[in-house]
Structure 1
Amino acid sequence: MAGGRGVRVKRIQLGNTVFEGANDVYLLDGEATALVDTGVALPAVREELVDGLAEHGLSFRDVDAIALTHWHPDHAGLAGEIQAAGGAEVYVHEADAALVDGTETPLFADRDLQRETFERWGMPDADRERLSGFFDAVSADLSGRPADVTTVSDGDAIRAGGVGLEVLHLPGHTAGLSGFAFDPRTVPGHDPVAGDDATEEAFTGDALLPKYTPNVGGADVRVEGALAAYAESLARIVARDFDAAHPGHRRRIDDPSRRAAAILDHHRHRTRRVIEVLDGSGPATAWEVSAALFGSLEEIHVLHGPGEAFSHLDHLAAAGVVERDGTAYRLVDPDPDVGALFPTTPLDDLVDGSEGA
């Protein structure tokens, strides 16, 4: 970018004891000031963000734009308050917009949707109440105030904090999860991981995480064919061959293509494991398959475990490998070509599914 005072891309790491661990908020501070994600609307986290901005001589009212990777409260919770302070424009993918502007109610606040979802998964009554109680205990203030949003879609170009961002729709974890690709050569003051050879980096939200595999199936129950959608998103990340990915949690990912390929292979392995469970036990519900895969679960994982199991069972049902009978799934083909159920990438022979765990 010619002229101006140059752009900084700075990570502000915030506490998070409810979801995937420490959240990353990215500050883009050049001709204007922008954030990628905001953190959850809890007082302690809010103060951490206030302090993080203050270290750069900034406050909420200085933020001109917010690019949200997805609707989850630990990424979008403070967007409405920041917007109210200074009029920031809030960008979010059209598929997640209603959960940020408050016109749609998320699962954790909708008892009817909870009942429908938990019945579909075959979750026992006691565990439904336990999970609903967890939601009640932690969710009252997570989402913060609604924000007026500007919707974006795949391929859109936006400018935030003096940085040109390309919207990259990466559904699966949520319906509208989007990354934001940028050319680090246009960002004076940014230190590209690959030095002068770097041509493209991306903010990936929870589409790509350095330690855990992003939850699929429980994280956003609105997503149809969640595992298939996420597999295609991972293949897309591999194909883009980013020099670095800046995720929604924890540290920068310096080989995002390999990480994406490893997570994709992890899901191939998990699919084989689901088939083994059904082959050994006979027809089973998503809840029962989750128990076989993950054992006893606590807190948010009571949602994520059966949701993940359901996404795999749903994927297998779409391929005709299993059949659904009520809430149970019966194995039809005990020896399918699992590899054919997922997209292939040039890195498939170089990764081990255990890297995705």
Structure 2
Amino acid sequence: MGSGTAQGTAGVRDHGGGVWSIPVPIPDNPLGHTLVHLLDTDRGPVLIDTGWDDPESWEVLVAGLAACGTGIADIHGVLVTHHHPDHHGLSGQVREASGAWIAMHAADAQVVRRTRTSEPGVWIDYLTAKLAAAGAPEEHLAPLRAARASGAARALPGTRHALPDREIEPGALLDLPGRRLRAIWTPGHTPGHVCLHLEERHPSLPEGQGNGRLFSGDHLLPEITPHIGLYEDPEDATVTDPLGDYLDSLERMARLAPAEVLPAHQHAFTGAPARVRDLLAHHAERLAGLRALLAQRPLTPWELAERMEWNRPWPQIPYGSRTIAVSEAEAHLRRLVKLGQAEAVPGTDPATYQAV
């Protein structure tokens, strides 16, 4: 595999032992593509994630499956690592074409259900108020207010994503005859993110080099860190700690010590415990840096985001990415507060935070 040249076959890879990966493009996204994995079972092939809901992405998925010796109509089931559109987007179309079931963790299924049923303007109202409370300037809020007034909220992604048929239960061996695939709940990137551990001997690495193979979704990637923002639910006032969830989930992956990781972006890799150590160190360093900023003077979440290190200077970060960056800053602030290293300054609006 991987030698094809037709659209959808370039980059298709046979990982051995009835596992393939198909790079499905993500439109206008620097990540480039989602690695959709195909797992052969005694009841038929199963997909792990499906890719973005886009006609070209669909064509590439169909061609990639053909390169693996199967077709959309043959798909028995779809396992969704998390609800984001570059993973879950095409699941409904796969189900329509094949009759396959779709499975997802309950927490992310709830996000899909809420997104489908919410009145279109609710999310924009919530986001506008939340960004204002985080200290966003008026020039950042104005486009949201304009979108609300024009009804553009109806075009938000995810409003037609498929509801799953089955629940992925943490710790359970999935009902896949002929395979041993166990679900591991790894919240952080989303509240219901799951990794899937193939508890079988690696087809090519020496025995004793590691513990099976791990389909890691966005939880564990070889060269980049996944976005960790707040779990957003306009109807839920629970103060969550997504970064704490993520760090705890990472440590579990180090203890699992899979022989190989098959992530949803970039490429397969070995050395999972070392990669986990790097990620834990990265976040520890980032938290220490943010606490040092807050020790200089109190800052709003927006002001903190402006001072954090990103892949480009703040003035060059696009509008939508700034919203995501502020959510990540807030997730780090919540972690610092929970660790007793920062606190909100009483009576400030928008809220400012200081080191303690």
TM-score (norm 2): 0.81
Q: Could you tell which deviates more after superposition, 234-243 or 93-102?
A: 93-102
Q: Could you tell which deviates more after superposition, 311-320 or 142-151?
A: 142-151
Structure 2 residue 138 is the aligned partner of structure 1 residue 125: yes
* Paired residues of 1:97 and 1:149 also in contact (CA < 8 A): no
CA RMSD, 1 decimal? 2.9
Q: Deviations over 1:71-108 (max 9, x none)?
A: 00100011111112222111111110123456555999
Report the Cα distance in structure 2 between the residues aligned to 1:166 and 1:272, rounded to whole angstroms: 35
What amino acid is the match of 2:51? G
Structure 1 residues 226, 233: closer, same or farther in 2, change over 3 A? Answer: same
Structure 1 residues 150, 206: closer, same or farther in 2, change over 3 A? Answer: same
* Paired residues of 2:47 and 2:75 also in contact (CA < 8 A): yes
Structure 2 residue 283 is the aligned partner of structure 1 residue 261: no
Please point out which of 81, 88, 107 is paired with 1:95. 107
State the SS of the aligned residue for 1:25.
strand
State the SS of the aligned residue for 1:69.
coil
State the SS of the aligned residue for 1:328.
coil
Q: CA deviation at 1:27?
A: 0.5
Q: Could you tell which deviates more after superposition, 153-162 or 8-17?
A: 153-162
Please point out which of 336, 340, 353 is paired with 1:316. 336
Between the aligned residues of both structures, percent identity stands at 27
Q: Deviations over 1:281-327 (max 9, x none)?
A: x1111111011013232154213211111111111122332221443
The residue aligned with 1:238 is 254
The residue aligned with 2:173 is 157
Please point out which of 289, 292, 300 is paired with 1:285. 300
* Paired residues of 1:61 and 1:85 also in contact (CA < 8 A): yes
Report the Cα distance in structure 1 between the residues aligned to 2:264 and 2:156, rounded to whole angstroms: 22
Please point out which of 13, 29, 33 is paired with 1:22. 33
* Paired residues of 1:322 and 1:330 also in contact (CA < 8 A): yes
* Paired residues of 2:133 and 2:351 also in contact (CA < 8 A): no
Q: Larger relative contact order (C-alpha < 8 A, sep ≥ 6)?
A: 1
What amino acid is the match of 1:320? G
* Paired residues of 1:183 and 1:199 also in contact (CA < 8 A): yes
Pairs aligned (count): 321
Q: CA deviation at 1:165?
A: 1.3
What amino acid is the match of 1:290? A
* Paired residues of 2:76 and 2:99 also in contact (CA < 8 A): yes
The residue aligned with 2:61 is 49
Q: CA deviation at 1:209?
A: 1.1
Gaps of 5+ in 1: 1-5, 334-357
Please point out which of 18, 23, 37 is paired with 1:8. 18
Report the Cα distance in structure 2 between the residues aligned to 1:42 and 1:256, rounded to whole angstroms: 32
TM-score (norm 1): 0.81
